[in-house]
Each structure stands twice: as C-alpha cells, then as structure tokens.
Structure 1
Amino acid sequence: MRGQVLGVDVTTGDGQISGDDGQRYVFKPDDWNDRVGPSVGALIDFDLDGRNARRIYRQPGSHAVAPAAVRTDRNKVVAALLAFFLGVFGVHRFYLGRIGSGVVMLILTCTVVGVLVTSIWAFVDFIRYLVMSDAEFNARYQQRIA
C-alpha cells in the first residue's frame, strides 16, 4: 500500500502514516527499511499487519519536511548571568554547549594574562546575550535534531 508519513516522534522514532485507503497506521523504527529514515510528508510504500505498517520504503523522488526542532532548556538570561559571574572560567560556554571554547577559557584562566583575556571575553559575551533577540539566541544555541 502507499501512503504518507503524518508524524514521527523524534525521541522514540515511532510514527503514524496515512494510507491511500484513508486509514491511519502506526510504525516503529524497526519497520523502516529506507536508509534515509522517516520524515513528515514523505511518500512511502508499506505492507500492512493489522493497524501496523511494516517494511516501509520511501517512494523514489519523494521529498519531505524535516522534523521540527527540539527545544532545550537553554535560556539567554541564565547564559548572560553565568557569563557575568562565572565567565572567566567559561561556565556560560559549557552551558550553551560550546565545550571547545569553554575549555580554552578554563585553560587561559590559569595565567594572569589569561584572566584578563577571559574577563573581557566573558563581558563581551554577557553584553551580546543581553542585546541578542530571542529568535537569534534560539537559532544559535538551541539544539536541533534533524
């Protein structure tokens, strides 16, 4: 049977399909046989097993919409406060998932000149986070799952 993927849970991989017969069917990640994997809007071909879709393949030339972004609990005000109070140690960078620059800041803090450099760096980050729009902050620092 043919159909279209209606939705996919990005955490479990479970999803729902609308079949050409007007019925809805569910699937598990193990039911998907395409190396690309499920995505909302994909046109597919599948076998039926009751209300479950099995042996699912994407139809050639089918395009789909990428799954929606998954939001994390990262907050720009928290990031700004961490930059202001603990910025010389790079804590705000670790908080935002920028591990590499956080490690650099932490190592630089071990020297007198490094403390001056990381102090300025952290203060610039503090100001940047405060003046940055919420949309730009989310685009830069929120984790996305494709």
Structure 2
Amino acid sequence: MRGQVLGVDRNGREGRIAGDDGQRYWFEPDDWSDRIGPAVGAQVDFEVSNGRALRIYHVPGTVAPRPAPDPARRRPRKDKVAAVLFAFFLGTLGVHRFYLGRTGSGIVMLLLSCTLVGLFVTGPWALIDAIRYLVMDHEEFQHRYG
C-alpha cells in the first residue's frame, strides 16, 4: 500500500501514516526498512498488519522532505553569567568570544593581545563586552548567542 507520513511523536517512538485507502496506520522506528527513516510528508510504500504499517520504504522517485530539526540536537544554550566572567577575567584573550561562538573576533582579540599596544585595545573591548552582556536582557542574550 502507498501513503504519506503524517507525523512522528516527539520521542521518536511512534508515528502515523495516512494510507491511500483513507485509513491511518501506526508505526515504530523498527518498521522502517530503508536508511532514511521517517520524515513528515514523505511518500511511502508499506505493508499492513492489524492497523500497523510494516516494512516501510520511501517511494522511489519521490524526494523525502527533510526531517524537522530535533530539539535535542540544537545548539546548547550559553550561560550569560559565564560569558560575563570570561569577558571580565579572560577577555583580553577573547575567551568569551570563543565561548559564544564568535570565533573570528576571538582570534582577532587573541592576536591583538600578543602585543602591548593590543592589550590597550582588547582590555576596554572585553570590559565593554562584559558590561553589555551583564545589562542585556536574558531573552535577548539567548536569541543572539544561545
């Protein structure tokens, strides 16, 4: 039988397929027979047993939609207090910039701090960053860096 994947639960333990016959069938991850796995909207071919979809394959020639991003695989949230402390105590080396994923400016700060003149640039830069992170609203901080 042919059908379309309607969805997969958040835990990835069970999903639903709308069959071309108008019925809905449930499946588990072990029911998939190809390496791609379930993706909402994918056209699939499957066998039916007691309301369950078994031996599920993507229909050849159809492009499976990309699966929705897994919330568990998102970037880890950055701690605002840690960023402030890194900027205040190790800021001239750009450690806070590396921590927040701003590698380019972190490298610039690190290279500038190798010279005495550069320390007069990176010192105030890091202090301004520390104050900016400290006064920034938590939601805004997470939006920018988390």
TM-score, normalized by length of structure 1?
0.69
Runs of 4 or more, structure 1, over 4 Å off, are: 49-53, 64-69
Which residue of 2 is the match for residue 81 of structure 1?
A: 85
CA distance in 1, matches of 2:53, 2:25: 9
Residue from 21, 24, 27 that aligns with 1:25: 27
Deviation at 1:6, TM superposition (A): 2.6
Secondary structure of the 2:28 match is strand
Deviation at 1:26, TM superposition (A): 3.3
CA RMSD of aligned residues (A): 3.2
Deviations 1:46-88 (A, max 9, x none): 122665563336x88x8x9665472514201100011001100
TM-score, normalized by length of structure 2?
0.69
**Residues 1:48 and 2:50 aligned together:** no
Which residue of 1 is the match for residue 6 of structure 2?
A: 4
Which residue of 2 is the match for residue 97 of structure 1?
A: 101
Q: What amino acid does structure 2 have at the position aligned with 1:30?
A: R
Aligned length: 129
Unpaired segments of 5 or more residues in structure 1? none
Would you say the 8 A contact 2:17–2:53 is kept in 1? no
Deviation at 1:136, TM superposition (A): 1.3
Residue from 124, 134, 137 that aligns with 2:138: 134
Unpaired segments of 5 or more residues in structure 2? none
Deviations 1:15-55 (A, max 9, x none): 753112333223468134xxxx93xxx32221226655633
CA distance in 2, matches of 1:129, 1:26: 45
Would you say the 8 A contact 2:92–2:122 is kept in 1? yes
CA distance in 1, matches of 2:54, 2:10: 14
Deviation at 1:4, TM superposition (A): 1.2
The higher relative CO (CA closer than 8 Å, separation ≥ 6) is in 1
Which residue of 1 is the match for residue 117 of structure 2?
A: 113
Highest Rg: 1 or 2?
A: 2
